[in-house]
């Protein structure tokens, strides 16, 4: 199942910079592992924001939920999710 996910990060202004750097490094490692596994298919930064648009390819809504909950930055995120399905006019065979 494909999901379009918008994640907006809102770190507390008074967060210790070393803690923020550690969480961001853990987030990068986890997100890159998910990308290599094919679960996080696309990742785009939103210009001018500490936010991204992503496409996840997971087996279920429950798997997406568990995946997002494991993000190190999850406690500091606002997340919006849209389920996606193939458009009948798409010419791309890899749309699922």
By the 8 A CB rule, do 4 and 82 touch? Answer: yes
Q: How far is 30 from 34, CA to CA, in rounded Å? A: 6
Do residues 77 and 10 make contact, with C-beta atoms less than 8 angstroms apart?
yes
CATH architecture of 2-84: 2-Layer Sandwich (3.30)
Q: What is the pLDDT of residue 75?
A: 98
**What mean pLDDT is reported for the chain?**
95
> Could you tell me the pLDDT band of residue 95, with boundaries at 50, 70 and 90?
low
pTM above 0.75, yes or no: yes
Please state, in angstroms and rounded to a whole number, the distance separating the CA atoms of residues 1 and 21.
32
Percent of the chain at pLDDT above 90?
88
The tokens of 32 are what?
């890159």
**Tens-place pLDDT, residues 54-88:** 999 999 999 999 999 999 999 999 999 999 988 88
């Amino acid at each position: 199942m494909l999901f379009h996910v918008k994640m907006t990060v809102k770190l507390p202004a008074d967060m210790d910079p070393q803690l923020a750097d550690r969480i961001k490094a853990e987030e990068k490692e986890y997100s890159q592992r998910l990308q290599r596994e094919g679960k996080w298919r696309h990742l785009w930064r939103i210009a001018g924001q500490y936010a991204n648009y992503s496409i996840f390819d997971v087996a279920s809504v429950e798997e997406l939920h568990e995946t997002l909950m494991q993000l190190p930055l999850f406690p500091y995120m606002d997340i919006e999710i849209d389920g996606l399905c193939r458009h009948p006019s798409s010419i791309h065979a890899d749309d699922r």
